[in-house]
Chain A
């Protein structure tokens, strides 16, 4: 049974909203609270809440606390939990959903991770491809530049080996790509 996010009825609770915004999210209803996800997570130790706890909190509609948690942002998208989940819950995609909701609600206090995603996507929307030097400078000059001194040698090493492009190379059909993305955003907003 492939139940999917539909526009039919607007979700009534936070739990329903999370499910509705995630392809395959229905499986979250089947969570056993077994903790296999957290046990498989490479960055679990550094999360405010383990994935298991986060899902219990989602079920309990603790929207505010869930969206303030660093948990979704510390997900490295390695899919270990998805591979092992006995209920086949699309955990990584649920984490993406929580990230989107946290941005929309402006609840996550530490802006580094959301800003990194936004900066990256800004480059993609501008050029159609990622442009590492522009991305790195734009992000790091505005995010604790003094703490990033080690990165200077990183950038130098990369430049020396000719591994950083100094100028962006936009795709030819950037106009077409923007039209597609704008349409997608419009449809997403209309849901």
Chain B
């Protein structure tokens, strides 16, 4: 099965572990993802606040770049997914808007026939095109005993994205079960991670993040599995700030569902893109005997500098 692939900006660096693990898993499952040539940012949740037509055109350029022989575009990032899907849908529904978007695209020598491409989230492709049975058959190292909270977030299921329930999705639950994991009930599974609020009002964002961590803790989850780089960043990289803000002590690792798939398929921690999470996944993954990359172990042995300390010239390379 062959798809055009739109990684999105996050997967280039801050969510490189998502990209690495997704590609490793795709390889195992015989999925071919052909990256769009010279794709651009989807505008996240920002461009629509500035200029409507430019925002749609920015997204539509990516749709226009899908090679003629491919009809499906895979997006691993939920924010990109919703922007691509929404633009595609609105171009079909509002011909006048589509005409204007195409006028803009044409200025750059491009054009897009509304609805030509079907936009799909990576999770949708994995559970529906590959299927749970094939996934189960690919498992060589079941995630037995690992308690996982399946966190979908918003944009993978809303607004009415169709492949799963918009308020209480189950596809990742079933996927994780097929991997042998113990999937805990997670009532807040489709609630918001705060999105860009960490940048605008940190107090609002921290409360939204706290709820999600607390809910996972209540169900004794060893880790949270997620489907979106924005969710991962907020829950992982801001977990320390949340702890400082509320005086809590959450230490819940946040991994991408593709990382857990890679581990269950018997791939190495490196192939699963492990080691770049801020909240260490080592204690949780010890339950399923994962050999973590070296840097994490060394880090453990070293006393961690106080979070409040001034940034000392500790070179990133020192730990690489």
**What is the CB-to-nearest-CB distance from B204 to chain A, in angstroms, rounded to a whole number?**
5
**What is the CB-to-nearest-CB distance from A177 to chain B, in angstroms, rounded to a whole number?**
6
Q: Is B113 an interface residue (CB 8 A)?
A: no
Q: Is B126 an interface residue (CB 8 A)?
A: no
Q: Is the CB of B192 within 8 A of A113?
A: no
A77, A182, A188 — which one has the most chain B CB atoms within 10 A of its CB? A77
Task: Give the interface segment out of A51-59, A61-69, A95-103.
Answer: A95-103
Q: Is A2 an interface residue (CB 8 A)?
A: yes
Q: Is the CB of A154 within 8 A of B237?
A: yes
Given A124-B58, A171-B38, residue A150 in contact with residue B241 (CB < 8 A): yes
Q: Is the CB of A116 within 8 A of B53?
A: no
On chain B, the residues within 8 Å of A96 by CB distance are 48-49, 52
Q: Is the CB of A180 within 8 A of B108?
A: yes
Question: Which residue in A152, A162, A180 is a CB contact (below 8 Å) of B57?
Answer: A180
Q: Is the CB of B307 within 8 A of A130?
A: no
On chain B, the residues within 8 Å of A121 by CB distance are 43, 46-47, 50
**Whole-angstrom CA separation of A131 from B196 in the bound complex:** 15
Q: Is the CB of A42 within 8 A of B208?
A: yes
Q: Is B63 an interface residue (CB 8 A)?
A: no
Task: Give the interface segment out of A9-17, A30-38, A79-87.
Answer: A79-87
Q: Is the CB of A160 within 8 A of B54?
A: no
**Whole-angstrom CA separation of A169 from B90 in the bound complex:** 30
Chain B, interface residues (CB within 8 Å), range: 35 or more
Q: Which of B137-196 contact A (CB under 8 A)?
A: 154-155, 158-160, 166-167, 191-192, 194-196
On chain B, the residues within 8 Å of A173 by CB distance are 38, 108
Q: Is B244 an interface residue (CB 8 A)?
A: yes
Given A79-B154, A92-B159, A124-B47, residue A165 in contact with residue B13 (CB < 8 A): yes
Q: Is the CB of A113 within 8 A of B200?
A: yes
Q: Is the CB of B204 within 8 A of A74?
A: yes
On chain B, the residues within 8 Å of A49 by CB distance are none
**Whole-angstrom CA separation of A113 from B316 in the bound complex:** 31
Q: Is the CB of A83 within 8 A of B40?
A: no
Q: Is the CB of B52 within 8 A of A124?
A: no
**What is the CB-to-nearest-CB distance from A90 to chain B, in angstroms, rounded to a whole number?**
8
Q: Is B14 an interface residue (CB 8 A)?
A: yes
Q: Is the CB of A112 within 8 A of B200?
A: yes
Q: Is the CB of B61 within 8 A of A158?
A: no
Binary CB contact string for chain B from 2 to 45 against chain A (1 if under 8 A, 0 otherwise)? 00000001001111100000000000000000000011110111
On chain A, the residues within 8 Å of B82 by CB distance are 79
Given A79-B155, A180-B61, residue A116 in contact with residue B44 (CB < 8 A): no
Question: Which residue in B95, B101, B200 is a CB contact (below 8 Å) of A184?
Answer: B101
Binary CB contact string for chain A from 112 to 137 against chain B (1 if under 8 A, 0 otherwise)? 11101110110010001111100000
A42, A153, A184 — which one has the most chain B CB atoms within 10 A of its CB? A184
Chain A to chain B: the 3 pairs with minimum beta-carbon distance, closest first? A79-B158, A183-B107, A184-B104
**Chain B interface (Cβ < 8 Å from any Cβ of A):** 9, 12-16, 38-41, 43-54, 56-58, 61, 82, 90, 93-97, 100-101, 103-110, 154-155, 158-160, 166-167, 191-192, 194-197, 199-201, 204, 208, 237-238, 240-241, 244, 275-278, 307-308, 311, 314, 316, 319-320
**Chain A interface (Cβ < 8 Å from any Cβ of B):** 2, 4-6, 21, 23-24, 42-43, 46, 73-74, 76-80, 82-83, 92-93, 96-97, 99-100, 103, 112-114, 116-118, 120-121, 124, 128-132, 139, 150, 152-154, 156-165, 169, 171-173, 176-177, 179-185, 187-188
